A = this chain, B = another copy of it.
């Protein structure tokens, strides 16, 4: 038997990885190497829109490998934990937004691209109250645009 290792992960964590690990734990997720890799790419504070496909490519670029299914599972776990927001387009695929605050998007159907709507472009006057016994969990405004 190997003696008890004070280090949680087999490979020692860099300082920034430690921080991500803590963030994951705080979200109720075990800090595994692949989750940390994904967190390093997405949870650095910058706001981005990523498709699972894109993300898989980025991970590959770092030299690490994460299985396709795991990328999906991880994105869903992060979303359930409130670390990401999922947005489904009229085009049958999802993108994940690292900005979990309520904000809205332009969807350019011609190029299948999402853009944030500048936050000062206030569009919601007020939210209607949810029906009895329900509460609002998220609000998505997608404004589809096409080249004219």
Contacts and interface: CB of A to CB of B under 8 A. Distances in A.
Contacts of A134: 106, 108, 145-148
A142 interface: yes
A148 B129 CA distance: 13
Interface residues of A, number: 40
A130 B109 contact: no
A123 B124 contact: yes
B147 A143 contact: no
A145 to B, nearest CB: 4
A117 B88 CA distance: 20
Contacts of A89: 88
B125 A124 contact: yes
